[in-house]
């Protein structure tokens, strides 16, 4: 199963304290954010990746190629509309996954490998999202994408929904139906992943896989969250 990593955005919220490089190239552990994400997925059996690039695409490609892609099979897809919503980046990878189920990861979300393994191996006919039900302990909860679920069925998603009992960890297991939903969202002038997920929810086609108590994740949006991540999740 391939993993699609979307790394096209500018990530400018972190720039006040950095040199404006793509944040996925910031140091983390013995490597970078992106090398850590690749390593975590490789630990659960993934060796084939599709990385969607846009802003400073050559910087990301050059870094990975200079390191021989760390031994992984990596295809690069250029999203020329990288200033638009993140759903455009996923849509750009459609041909690379060729109608098969695939994992989707943000390029700034670091997640405990055991959680990645469970969602990769989870048996379901539905599309899946990794969800943290521990909403009280979420770093920067105000900016997090919230999830409302009933049992394991997701019934709503969004940054500003009023009723929620979980948080989106930025890791999905999706089938070809996602692209159909993304196309419908674009017809409604909506270009985010969450917009497509809302359409899947209406079709009762979105389930939660829950983080366990010992598992961790972090969304690195700002310099403060980056500093926090270095101690919170040990590479």
Mean pLDDT, residues 96-121: 96
Query: Is residue 33 a contact partner of residue 23, using CB atoms and an 8 Å limit?
Result: yes
Q: In angstroms, rounded to a whole number, what is the distance separating the alpha carbons of residues 200 and 205? A: 5
CB atoms within 10 A of CB 99: 10
Over 90: is that where the pLDDT of 194 sits?
yes
Mean pLDDT of 74-103: 95
Contact 106, 183 (CB under 8 A): no
Give the mean pLDDT of 201-220: 96
pLDDT band per the 50, 70, 90 thresholds, residue 235: low
Instruction: Check residue 177 and give its pLDDT.
Output: 96
CA 77 to chain centre: 16
Angle, CA 201 vertex, CA 118 and CA 178 arms, to 5° = 70
Supply 138's token pair.
């979420």
The separation between CA 58 and the C-alpha centre of its own chain, rounded to angstroms, equals 21
Label residue 16 by pLDDT band (50, 70, 90): low
pLDDT of residue 11: 65
Distance between alpha carbon 68 and the CA centroid of its chain, in Å? 23
How many CB atoms are located within 10 Å of the residue 95 CB? Answer: 10
Residue 13, pLDDT > 70, answer no
Span 87-95, average pLDDT: 97
Q: Is the pLDDT of residue 12 over 90?
A: no
Residue 188 has pLDDT above 80, yes or no: yes
- pTM here? 0.94
Task: Report residue 142's pLDDT band, with 50, 70 and 90 as the boundaries.
Answer: confident
State the pLDDT confidence band at 15, using cuts at 50, 70 and 90: low
CATH class assigned to 3-232: alpha beta
- Please state the rounded mean pLDDT for residues 60-85: 96
Taking residues 12-38, report their average pLDDT: 82
Average pLDDT over the chain reads 93
- Among the listed residues 59, 47, 60, 221, the one whose alpha carbon sits nearest the alpha carbon of residue 142: 221
Buried b (16+ CB within 10 A) or exposed e, 58-90: eebbebbeeeebeebebebbebeebebbbbbbb
Query: Above pLDDT 90, what percent of the chain?
Result: 82
Average pLDDT over residues 55-74: 96
**DSSP H or E segment with residue 98:** none
pLDDT level of residue 98 (50, 70, 90 thresholds) = confident
Statement: residue 32 has pLDDT above 70:
yes
How far, rounded to the nearest angstrom, does the alpha carbon of residue 140 sit from its chain's CA centroid?
Answer: 17
DSSP reduced 3-state for 169: strand
């Amino acid at each position: 199963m391939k993993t699609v990593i979307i790394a096209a955005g500018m990530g400018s919220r972190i720039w006040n304290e950095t040199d404006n490089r793509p944040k996925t190239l910031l140091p983390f552990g013995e490597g970078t954010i992106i090398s850590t994400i690749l390593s975590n997925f490789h630990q659960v059996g993934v060796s084939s990746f599709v990385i969607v690039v846009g802003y400073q695409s050559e910087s990301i490609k050059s870094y990975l190629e200079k390191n021989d892609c760390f031994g992984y099979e990596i295809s690069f897809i250029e999203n020329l509309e990288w200033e638009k919503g993140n759903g455009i980046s996923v849509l750009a990878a459609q041909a690379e996954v060729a109608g098969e189920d695939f994992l989707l990861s943000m390029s700034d979300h670091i997640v405990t490998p055991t959680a990645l393994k469970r969602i990769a191996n989870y048996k379901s006919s539905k599309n899946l999202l990794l969800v943290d039900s521990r909403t009280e302990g979420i770093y920067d909860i105000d900016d997090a994408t919230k999830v409302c679920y009933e049992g394991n069925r997701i019934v709503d998603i969004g940054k500003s929904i009023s009723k929620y009992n979980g948080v989106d960890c930025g890791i999905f297991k999706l089938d070809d139906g996602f692209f159909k939903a993304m196309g419908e969202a674009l017809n409604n002038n909506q270009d985010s992943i969450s917009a497509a997920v809302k359409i899947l929810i209406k079709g009762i086609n979105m389930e939660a896989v829950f983080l366990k108590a010992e598992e961790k994740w972090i969304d690195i949006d700002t310099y403060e969250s980056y500093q926090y991540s270095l101690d919170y999740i040990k590479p």
